Structure 1
Amino acid sequence: MVSLVPSLTEAVAVTAPGLLVGVTDWCTHPAGLDAARIGGTKNPDVAAVTALAPDLVVANEEENRAPDLDALRAAGLRVLVTEVRSLPQAFTELERVLTEGCGLAAPDWLAAARDAWLGVRPPSRRRRAVVPIWRRPWMALGRDTFAGDLLARLGVDNVLAGHQDRYPRFDPAALPPADLAVLPDEPYAFAPDDGPEAFPGLPAALVSGRLLTWYGPSLVEAPQALARALAGATPRP
C-alpha cells in the first residue's frame, strides 16, 4: 500500500506496521517509518509509485492533485480518495480507509478519538479567531475546513469562515473583528517571534499543526492539548 497523505500514513502505520511500502516526503509520523519515499503530496513520482506495485493508493481530494491520481489510475493502480472537511467526516473516512481499503479491524485508537471528542465541553464564552496558515503572502483558514471545525468544537469561531475561498489571502490590518490569533506550526512554521507580532493587541495561541490539521491517532490527544494552548494564548502589546 502507498499513502499520499501524512495523516493517513500515520493512521495506517500505527494500525498495521509494515503495511505501507511507499509514503510522501512529508510523512513524518510515526517516527522511524520504514517505507520508500515517493515525493511530495503535490508532486508524487508516479513512476516510483507504480514500480512499488501497491494493491492500493490512499489519497485526499485536497492534499493531492487530480492529474496525479488520474495518472496512477491509468497505470492500473487502485486509488482510494478521501474527503475530510469536518470531524465526523474524518472519522468516517478513517474507518473506510482502514476497514474497506486495508481490510483491517477498526483500531482501538479510533474509538478512543471518538470518545475524546465526545467529551469536549467548550467554554461558555466563544472567541473569534484568525487562523493563518502561511505568510508572504498571508493566507488563512476560510470556509469549510477540518481545522475550522475542530476549533469551533473548542469554542473558537473562525472570523473568515464565511469567505468564498477555503484558504483565502488576507491583510492582517483589514480583518473582521477578532479576539485571538491561532498560529499552527505547519504548513508555515509560525513561532513566538514570527507571526504573533503581525497581530498587535490580539492574544496569540501557538498550536501544533499536526494536532489541528491531521486526522488520525493525533485526534486522541488533540482536544485536550489544543484546549490548553488556546487557554494559554499570550496577549500581545
Structure 2
Amino acid sequence: MTGSRGAVTRVVSLVPSLTEAVAETLPGALVGATDWCTHPAGLDVARIGGTKNPDVDAVRRLAPDLVVANEEENREPDLAALRAAGVEVLVTEVRDVPGAFRELDRVLRACGTKGRPRWLDEAEAAWSDLPGPLASSGGPSRRTTAVVPVWRRPWMVLGRDTFAGDVLARLGVDHLYAAHAERYPRIPLEDLREADPDLVVLPDEPYRFTAEDGPEAFAGTPCALVSGRHLTWYGPSLAEAPRVIGEALRAARR
C-alpha cells in the first residue's frame, strides 16, 4: 500500500503499541519512535520525545513517509504541526479489541506490508476462543466486579468506552465505572472503597502500581497487579494478553 506520496519506506511511530507492531512486521521501516517505546527490546531508532510532547522538528528531520499516531495517546496540536510541516499522519482510534485488530491491519497496510503478519492472526485466534468468566479458586465461575485505577494523586480509574475496559470485560471482569460519563474519571479513594468491588486491578502503566504502592489503599480487597503492556497495548502483545492477564486475575482471587 502506498501513501499519498508513493511507497512508504520510512515510518515514525508516536505510540508504543504501534511501534512494536511495525518493528515486528516490517524490520527496517521504522526510523523513529518515542522514549516510551520499549518493545521490541533493543530497538535501535531515533528517539523523538514522549507521546504527549514529541519533538516535531526532530520528526520532520527524519523525513518520514508516514507518522502513525493515536487519538488518545497523542495531542492534536502536535499532529497538526506535523501535517503543517508536510508530514503525512495516520491517526488510529481504538476503543475495543475488535477495533484494535481493524486498526492494526490498517496501519500495517499503510506502512507497506504485503499481507497479514502471523502474530496478528495468532492474536485474533487468542481472543476468539476465551475461557468462561473468571472464577475464584474452588468457587463457581461468574463475572467479577472491579475498579481499575490508572493513576493516583489524584485517583483516576477506567471509565466508559476504553480499550482496557473491553479487554477485562472479555475476560469476565466488569469494571464498576464503565457507565461513567468520563473515560478516565477522578474518583475519591473513599468512593472507590465504598463501591465494594470483588477485585482491584492495578496495572503498571501509566502509573506504575507495585506490591508496595497501590494495594495498601484497598485493605481487605484482593488486588491484581497486571502488566500494563498486556492490558492497554494493542500490538503483538495481544496474542498473549488473555493468558497473562487471566493468570494475574486468577492469582489475585486465590
Q: Same fold (TM over 0.5)?
A: yes
Q: Who is 1:171 aligned against? A: 188
1:13 has 2:23 as partner: yes
Question: Which residue of structure 2 aligns with residue 143 of structure 1?
Answer: 160
Aligned-residue Cα RMSD (Å) equals: 1.1
2:7 maps to none
The 5-angstrom pairing of residues 66-145 of structure 1 reads 66-123=76-133, 124-145=141-162
Q: Distance in 2 between matches of 1:50 and 1:130?
A: 41
Q: Gaps (5+ residues) in structure 1?
A: none
Structure 2, unaligned runs of 5 or more:
1-10, 134-140
Identity, % of aligned positions: 69
- Contact 1:159/1:177, CA 8 A, preserved across alignment: no
Q: Deviations over 1:27-86 (max 9, x none)?
A: 000011111000000000000000111000000000000000000000001000000010
Q: Which moved more, 1:59-68 or 1:165-174?
A: 165-174
Picking from 215, 218, 226, the partner of 2:245 is 226
Q: Aligned match of 1:152 in 169, 175, 180? A: 169
Report whether the alignment pairs 1:186 with 2:205.
Answer: yes
Deviation at 1:234, TM superposition (A): 5.7
> What's the TM-score, normalizing by structure 1?
0.97
Ranges of 4+ aligned residues in structure 1 off by more than 6 Å:
none
| Residue type at the aligned position of 1:13 | A
What is the total number of aligned residue pairs between the two structures? Answer: 235
Q: Distance in 2 between matches of 1:58 and 1:34?
A: 18
**What is the match of residue 71 of structure 2?**
61
- Take 2:81 and 2:53, find their aligned partners in 1: how far apart are those partners? 12
**Match in the other structure for 1:35:** 45
